[in-house]
Amino acid sequence: MRGLAGYEIPLDGADLRTASALLLGCAALRAAAPGELGVPCPLRELTGIPCPFCGMTTSVTATVELDPVEAVAANPGGPLLVLLALAILLGPARRLVVRSGLVYFALAALWLWELNRFSIL
Amino acid sequence: MSEQDPQVPAQEPPATGAPPPPAAQPAWTPQGPSGPRAGFGRRLVAALVDGLVLTVGFLVLFGIGAAISEGLGLFMVFVAIAGALAYYIVLEGGPTGQTLGKRALNIRVVDQNTGGPIGYGRGAIRLVARYLSQIPCYLGYLWMLWDKEKQTWHDKLSTSVVVPVEYYPVTR
């Protein structure tokens, strides 16, 4: 089972707080700005194949705008990331540890979701 | 995700050919990377500074060229692109391993195994690998958030790490 679970990764608290603030700040800016700002996915632009993070901008913005249905439809990782970012920013600043297997499983699951959403699978 | 005991036992970091961190600042832990690493925030701001420098350089070159003639303006676009490529290869592959952004943020690129400069060849590999890091919605950049050695994909492909200058001082 250790093989599947992978090794323990101690996550840097400062890195997580920076990334969380960046995520929520950009989502709030995008929600407030006119139009639909966003960075197109280079992989999808080049090949037509989505990556695991495709739809994440829409999903995170929809979560901030309290539209969970659109958020999950675009990318189910968005609401989870927003909740995680809030917990990191508002919770006690402690060192966190994650299993590498969990990271790779999450990336694989998100990719399958996006491949299905774009009718590749 | 689980919480880890913040009380880690004192232990010397493995020798990686670079000066060890000062004992008073616990930047290294047995479970973490094999040496001190530049954090996500510093690397992000350094990248933004580099982006700003290159954008201003591009606009100045293109503006001067286009003001003289359309053909010279187009030529200046190619000069600016070549300059941007050389900027990363020469500065990150050079003895300091620092672009202007990295110098401003006091971080540098070093060889993962020796702690020394990566050289211009691997600087070029690092540059090409940057584009691979960008392709899946910048996943290759975010990789450092959970990577054991805090490496992006272009760090891994060029066998380099980005470190704080206070732990890996530039020697001339």
What SS3 state is found at A102?
helix
**A9:B148 CB<8 A:** yes
How many domains would you assign to chain A?
Answer: 1
Output the pTM of the full model.
0.77
Whether B104 contacts B49, CB under 8 Å: yes
d(CA B25, CA B6): 14
The answer as to whether A6 is a domain residue is no
DSSP assigned state of B110: E
Place of tokens 């979701």: A113
CB of A96 within 8 Å of a chain B CB? The answer is yes
Residue type, A79: P
The answer as to whether A113 is a domain residue is yes
The yes/no answer to whether this complex scores an ipTM above 0.95 is no
**A18:B41 CB<8 A:** yes
pLDDT truncated to tens, each residue of chain B (172 aa)? 444 443 333 343 444 555 555 544 445 555 667 889 999 999 999 999 999 999 999 999 999 999 999 899 899 999 999 999 999 999 999 999 999 999 999 999 999 999 999 999 999 999 999 999 998 888 999 999 989 899 999 999 999 999 999 999 988 6
Find all residues with CB under 8 Å of A65, minimum gap 6, and list them.
A31
The answer as to whether A100 is a domain residue is yes
Chain A residues lying within 8 Å of B1, measured CB to CB = 96-98, 102
Distance of CA A21 to the CA centre of its chain: 13
